A and B are shown apart, each in its own frame.
Chain A
Amino acid sequence: DAGVIQSPRHEVTEMGQEVTLRCKPISGHDYLFWYRQTMMRGLELLIYFNNNVPIDDSGMPEDRFSAKMPNASFSTLKIQPSEPRDSAVYFCASSFGTGGRNEQFFGPGTRLTVL
Chain B
Amino acid sequence: DQQVKQNSPSLSVQEGRISILNCDYTNSMFDYFLWYKKYPAEGPTFLISISSIKDKNEDGRFTVFLNKSAKHLSLHIVPSQPGDSAVYFCAASGVDSNYQLIWGAGTKLIIKP
Contacts and interface: CB of A to CB of B under 8 A. Distances in A.
Contacts of A93: 43
A10 B46 CA distance: 24
Interface in A35-93: 41-45, 48, 55-56, 91, 93
Given A45-B101, A106-B44, 6 more contacts: A42-B106, A99-B101, A100-B98, A100-B101, A103-B46, A109-B41
Interface residues of A, number: 23
Interface of B: 32, 41-46, 89, 93-94, 97-101, 103-106
A48 B44 contact: no
A100 B93 contact: yes
Contacts of B104: 42
Contacts of A105: 43, 46
Interface of A: 4, 33, 41-45, 48, 55-56, 91, 93, 98-101, 103-109
A108 B93 CA distance: 23
Contacts of B98: 55-56, 100
A42 B100 contact: no
B45 A101 contact: no
A10 B93 CA distance: 31
Contacts of B101: 45, 99-100, 104
B10 to A, nearest CB: 13
B100 A98 contact: yes
A42 B42 CA distance: 15
